[in-house]
Amino acid sequence: MDKSKEPFTFKNHGTYDIEPIKGIISSFTDEWFQNTERQATFKEHKTTLTYFLAWYPLSWNPGEPYVGTISNPESKLWPHVLPLIQRLEKLHDGKVGRVILPKLEANTAITKHTDQGGYLSVVRRHHIAVITDPKVKFIVGQDEKYLEPGVIWEINNMKMHRVINDSSIDRVHLLIDIIPNKAIGNETL
């Protein structure tokens, strides 16, 4: 179940219309500061700001019951994100975990790291670029890519990865985690 043994770095799962999402987040100001857990907890993400659409505990481990997400259903983004979540749940036969919009500041980087813990070892992690630039490079293992807007990329977050934003704009991705049903214990919500 642990992805560290899987040979992939990036998997392309098609495209998705991100224009409505881009339109909504273009007016964000204070929204980026509602939850600073990610950048405060992980030194690799100190140059990011994160808007949480759905929260799931990173302390969850494979074999435990699914606890459901604590979401932000009043967000104007939900009608535009929910169809993609449902599509990815079906693709991976799973349930949604964290759904966030991480913003990486211009001319900064997310340092090299591998994700740690039971939750992060089994989730299928997807990055969909919403606001980006060809000078933004995502590196997983030895593979480097510019993630074009609207392309759904699953990354192997158990391999060493980093992001370099050499552009003059803040990069924003939609990140969606799917927990495979085979990793979830019998007592689900």
- At 70, list the tokens: 């604590």
What's the confidence (pLDDT) of residue 3?
A: 80
What's the confidence (pLDDT) of residue 188?
A: 46
User: Which distant-in-sequence residues (6+ apart) come within 8 Å of 83 by Cβ?
Assistant: none
Question: Which of 17, 118, 100 has its CA nearest to residue 58?
Answer: 118
Query: Rounded to the nearest 5 degrees, what angle is found at the Cα of 104, between the Cα atoms of 41 and 57?
Result: 35
Q: Are strands 94-104 and 124-131 parallel, antiparallel or unpaired?
A: unpaired
Question: Which of 45, 34, 121 has its CA nearest to residue 70?
Answer: 34
φ, ψ (nearest 5 deg) of residue 48: -115, 160
Within 13 Å and on the Cβ side, how many CA atoms surround 85?
Answer: 21
What's the confidence (pLDDT) of residue 34?
A: 74
What's the confidence (pLDDT) of residue 41?
A: 62
What's the confidence (pLDDT) of residue 22?
A: 97
What's the confidence (pLDDT) of residue 103?
A: 93
How far is the C-alpha of 111 from the C-alpha of 43, rounded, in Å? Answer: 8
Query: Rounded to the nearest 5 degrees, what angle is found at the Cα of 97, between the Cα atoms of 138 and 155?
Result: 20
Residue 33, SS3 per DSSP: helix
User: Which distant-in-sequence residues (6+ apart) come within 8 Å of 42 by Cβ?
Assistant: 113
How far is the C-alpha of 182 from the C-alpha of 87, rounded, in Å? Answer: 18
Per-residue pLDDT in tens (0 to 9) along the chain, 189 residues: 678 789 999 999 999 999 999 999 999 988 877 777 776 666 566 667 899 999 999 999 999 999 888 777 778 999 999 999 999 999 999 999 999 999 999 999 988 988 889 999 999 999 999 999 999 999 999 999 999 999 999 999 999 999 999 999 999 999 999 999 999 997 544
What's the confidence (pLDDT) of residue 64?
A: 96
What's the confidence (pLDDT) of residue 98?
A: 94
